[in-house]
Amino acid sequence: MVTRSGSSWVAQNGARSVYSGGDMRAAVQAALDSLRSGRTTKESVLVQGSGTMTAGSRLSVPSYTVLNVCGTIDVTGSGSGDMAPIYARGRTDIEIPNVTISGTPLYAMFFRDVENLRLGRVALRVSSGLGIRIDNHGRSDRSDKVTNIDIDHVDAEGTSSHAVETYGVDDLRIGTVIARDVGECGLLLNDTTNAEIGKVDAVNAGAGTGYAAFRLANRAGRIGSSYPTNIRVGEVIARGGGRGIFCVSESGGVTIDRIDLADTGSNAILLENCHNVNIAAASGKVTGGGDIRLAARAEFENSSDITIQNLTVTNTAVNENPCATNSTFRNLTLVNSRENTCD
C-alpha cells in the first residue's frame, strides 16, 4: 500500500516499509518492485492519495500486477519518446482498476506488447498528449497482435491527440469512451480485429482535422485477406469536431448498431476503401454538418459491401463517388437533404 500524509509518501509491503519520502513516483515504483518476483498470479498495489510526476518519468508496471490508484497523478513539465505515468512493455496480466491523470503527459498510459490487460475506470483531465495507446510495435512480426484487452470506461478531456488508440490488437473489449475537446480521435482502431465496443461519445473531437469521433484505419477488421464482421459497436455519438465516423485504408468488417451525429466540421461519415461496413444496423440520425460519403482512392481496391440504413438525414447529403461495389442504401428518411448514390 502507498499512502500520502502531508507532503510525505510511505510505501509498505505488509509490515515492511519499502519507501518513505516526498516523491510519489518513487514510492509507487518501490511498492511495485517489492512484489514477489517470478510470480504467475496477480499481486496488488493500492495507492491512496494524489501527487505529481514529471512528464519525463514513468511508473513501469510489471507482469501479474494490479495497480489501483485512488487519487490523481498530475503530470508536470514535458517528456519525450514513449514516457507515460502508467507504462508497461513486454508484460502480461496487468490490471489498472482506477486512475485519474491530469496535467501534461506525452502519453497518459502506454502499453506496448502487453497481453491480458484490463483497464477499469480511467479519467483523463489533461492539456496535451495522447490518452491511452496500446500496440504491438515492439514485435518484428506485426501480424503477431497483442490479445485479450479489456477497457471498461474512459472519460478523456483535453488530449492533443487521440483519447484511445489501438494498433495491432486482437480480442478487444471496450465499454465506453467519452471524449471531450480532444485534438484527434475519440477512439481509433488501427490493425485491430475481433473487437466489441459499447459506446463512443465525442464532443468536439478532432476539430479542424480529418480525424473522427470513431475511426478505423490501417486494415482494422481485416482477417487474412477478407472482412468478416468482427468489429461490433453499440453506439457512436458525435457533436461538432472533425468527422463523426471514418473508415479508411482497407479497413472494415464492422457493424455499428446506432449512430447520432450532428454538426461535424467535416464529413459526418466517410467510408473510403473499406469493405463490409454496416452503418445504423438498428437506427440512427445525422443532422447538419458534413455529408455521408462513400469514396475511394485509386491506390486501394474500391469500397465494397457497404450498407447504410435506418437513418434520418437532416440538412446534409448522402454521396457515393465513385460507385462502390455492392453498396446498399435503404430506409433513409431525407429531411432537406439529397441522395446522390449509385443504387
- Pairing of the two strands 107-112 and 130-135: parallel
User: Is 179 within 8 Å of 213 (Cβ atoms)?
Assistant: yes
Is pLDDT of 343 > 80? no
Is pLDDT of 205 > 80? yes
Is pLDDT of 312 > 90? yes
- Which residues have C-beta within 8 Å of that of residue 242, sequence separation ≥ 6? 205, 206, 207, 208, 209, 210, 211, 212, 264, 265, 266
- Which residues have C-beta within 8 Å of that of residue 70, sequence separation ≥ 6? 46, 47, 48, 49, 98
pLDDT in tens, 240-256: 999 999 999 999 999 99
- Pairing of the two strands 130-135 and 115-126: unpaired
User: Is 168 within 8 Å of 191 (Cβ atoms)?
Assistant: yes
Q: What is the mean pLDDT of residues 295-323?
A: 97
Q: 318 pairs with which residues across the strands?
A: 292, 339
User: Is 38 within 8 Å of 63 (Cβ atoms)?
Assistant: no
- At 10 the pLDDT is 98
Phi and psi for 29 in degrees, rounded to 5? -65, -40
Is pLDDT of 39 > 90? yes
Alpha-carbon span 209 to 25, nearest angstrom: 35
Nearest CA to 110 out of 84, 74, 76 is that of: 84
Q: 243 pairs with which residues across the strands?
A: 212
* Grid cell digits, residue 42: 496477480
Average pLDDT, the chain: 98
pLDDT in tens, 284-301: 999 999 999 999 999 999
DSSP assignment letter at 146? E
Alpha-carbon span 324 to 307, nearest angstrom: 11
Phi and psi for 117 in degrees, rounded to 5? -110, 135
Q: How many CA atoms lie within 13 A of 153 on its CB side?
A: 7
pLDDT in tens, 131-181: 999 999 999 999 999 999 999 999 999 999 999 999 999 999 999 999 999
- Within 10 angstroms of residue 308's Cβ, the number of other Cβ atoms is 26
- DSSP codes of every residue in 198-260: EEEEEESTTTTSS-EEEEEESSTT-BTTB--S-EEEEEEEEESSSEEEEE-SS-EEEEEEEEE
Is pLDDT of 95 > 90? yes
CA dihedral 286, 254, 270, 191 (to 10 degrees): 140
pLDDT band at 66 (very low <50, low <70, confident <90, very high): very high
- At 79 the pLDDT is 87
Nearest CA to 146 out of 162, 163, 167, 177 is that of: 167
- At 316 the pLDDT is 98
Q: 294 pairs with which residues across the strands?
A: 271, 320
- Within 10 angstroms of residue 243's Cβ, the number of other Cβ atoms is 27
pLDDT band at 12 (very low <50, low <70, confident <90, very high): very high
CA 96-98-102 angle, to 5 degrees, is: 105
pLDDT band at 70 (very low <50, low <70, confident <90, very high): very high
User: Is 211 within 8 Å of 234 (Cβ atoms)?
Assistant: no
